[in-house]
């Protein structure tokens, strides 16, 4: 299994390591993994190709890193689509299982199959020495973006998205190369951004970031039915476990970053509404752009919203 995150990252501990452990337990030890974290096997944007080509069997693949290859699977990353990790992750998972539209349209044509899904919600604007309270405060800024749907959100706010590795954010913000980033606390904390960035919104809800742990179709087909069943169950358990880890770690990370000196500007109800209005058109614009290249963006948007609403009703 290949991962772009270091082994001590919450996503690795709650995702990759939990998946490997449960797959081994559920298969009676028949399934065993060799784990390569921290981009040992290649860069994050290369994970899909490494999996499809058989260099690795399972990898952490994020739609935001490969928007041309998994364009529809960034639906949960759009602003206003996922406000908590569990309902957002479960909604994505429902569209990637069985004959789900994301499995059919995105993953199957790339010869990969998602086993586990994680969604990190709560993306906020984090800046160096410029305080941000209103969407207009962002206009003209250069903000590091994870790519994909987050690029659209940054552009909707009148800022310029800048692509760079997460490991470069600290130095770029410290030196003023970029004004800040759009990121969730759990994602920012491992990179010590509270030492480089002084300010963050809290409650703007500018989007999310989706991660999948996906297996190569060829590897999947070669497994006996019992092992496929074990991996399927392990993937579902991992998705649920990971969402709980994300919710807990997001809150803990924000607390620790506040203690480290970062000022999280808590937005009031009307302020939150102002941010939501500034980005409300982004999902429909995304769907229209998908339609222009022959992809069922509107159907994915509708099915995701329906799945998330069902998850909210059922309370997971």
DSSP letters, 43-96, are: -GGGHHHHHHTTS-SEEEE-GGG-TTTSSGGGGGGSTTS-SSHHHHHHHHHHHH
**pLDDT tens, residue by residue, 22-59:** 999 999 999 999 999 999 999 999 999 999 999 999 99
> Fold for domain 10-120+209-250?
D-Maltodextrin-Binding Protein; domain 2 (3.40.190)
* 124 DSSP β-pair partners: 183
Distance CA 67, CA 45 (A): 10
Q: What is the reported pTM?
A: 0.95
Could you tell me where in the chain the CATH 3.40.190.170 domains are found?
Answer: 10-120+209-250, 124-206+261-314
Q: How far is CA 265 from CA 79, 183, 248, 255, 272, in A?
A: 19, 15, 20, 13, 11
214 closest CA partner among 84, 65, 83: 65
pLDDT confidence tier of residue 167, bands split at 50, 70 and 90:
confident
Question: Would you state the pLDDT for residue 166?
Answer: 86
- Which one is the CATH code of 124-206+261-314: 2.60.40.10, 3.30.420.10, 3.40.190.170, 3.40.50.300? 3.40.190.170
Question: Would you state the pLDDT for residue 311?
Answer: 86
For residues 279 and 55, the answer to whether their CB atoms sit within 8 Å is no
pLDDT confidence tier of residue 8, bands split at 50, 70 and 90:
confident
Contacts of 41 (CB under 8 A, 6+ apart): 2, 47, 50, 55, 56, 59
Torsion sign, CA atoms 248, 251, 254, 260? negative
**pLDDT tens, residue by residue, 188-222:** 998 999 999 999 999 999 999 999 999 999 999 99
Asked if residue 316 has pLDDT above 60, the reply is no
The arithmetic mean of pLDDT across residues 98-122, rounded, is: 97
Distance CA 11, CA 21 (A): 15
The arithmetic mean of pLDDT across residues 118-141, rounded, is: 96
Distance CA 298, CA 149 (A): 15
For residues 193 and 181, the answer to whether their CB atoms sit within 8 Å is yes
pLDDT confidence tier of residue 315, bands split at 50, 70 and 90:
confident
Question: Would you state the pLDDT for residue 271?
Answer: 97
For residues 298 and 287, the answer to whether their CB atoms sit within 8 Å is yes
Distance CA 169, CA 29 (A): 40
The arithmetic mean of pLDDT across residues 303-313, rounded, is: 92
For residues 191 and 166, the answer to whether their CB atoms sit within 8 Å is yes
CA angle at 212 for the pair 207 and 216, rounded to the nearest 5°: 150
* 120 DSSP β-pair partners: 209
Question: Would you state the pLDDT for residue 207?
Answer: 97
Q: How far is CA 69 from CA 62, 110, 131, 155, 264, in A?
A: 10, 8, 36, 21, 35
Q: How far is CA 188 from CA 103, 232, 299, in A?
A: 30, 31, 33
Question: Would you state the pLDDT for residue 313?
Answer: 84
Q: What integer best gives the mean pLDDT of the chain?
A: 96
Distance CA 212, CA 118 (A): 6
């Amino acid at each position: 299994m290949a991962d772009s995150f270091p082994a001590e990252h919450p996503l690795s501990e709650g995702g990759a390591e939990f998946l490997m452990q449960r797959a081994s337990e559920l298969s009676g030890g028949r399934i065993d993994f060799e784990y390569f974290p921290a981009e040992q096997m290649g860069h994050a944007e290369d994970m899909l190709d490494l999996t499809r080509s058989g260099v690795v069997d399972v990898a952490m693949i994020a739609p935001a890193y490969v928007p041309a290859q998994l364009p529809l699977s960034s639906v949960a990353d759009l602003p206003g689509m996922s406000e908590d990790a569990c309902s957002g992750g479960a909604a994505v998972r429902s569209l990637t299982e069985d004959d789900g539209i994301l499995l059919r349209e995105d993953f199957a044509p790339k010869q990969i199959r998602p086993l586990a899904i994680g969604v990190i919600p709560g993306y906020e604007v984090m800046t160096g020495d410029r305080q941000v309270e209103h969407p207009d405060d962002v206009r003209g800024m250069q903000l590091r973006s994870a790519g994909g749907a987050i690029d659209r959100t940054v552009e909707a706010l009148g800022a310029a998205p800048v692509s760079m590795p997460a490991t470069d954010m600290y130095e770029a913000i410290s030196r003023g190369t970029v004004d800040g980033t759009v990121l969730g606390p759990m994602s920012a904390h491992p990179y010590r951004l509270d030492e480089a960035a002084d300010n963050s919104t809290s409650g703007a809800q500018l989007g999310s970031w989706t991660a999948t742990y996906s297996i190569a179709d060829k590897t999947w087909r070669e497994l006996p039915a019992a092992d496929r069943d074990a991996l399927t169950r392990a993937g579902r358990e991992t998705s649920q476990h990971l969402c709980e880890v994300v919710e807990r770690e997001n809150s803990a990370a924000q607390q620790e970053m506040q203690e480290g000196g970062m000022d999280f500007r808590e937005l009031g109800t009307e302020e939150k509404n102002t941010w939501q209005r500034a980005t409300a058109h982004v999902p429909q614009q995304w769907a229209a752009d998908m339609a222009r290249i022959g992809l069922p963006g509107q159907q994915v948007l509708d099915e995701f919203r329906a799945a998330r609403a069902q998850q909210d009703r059922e309370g997971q």
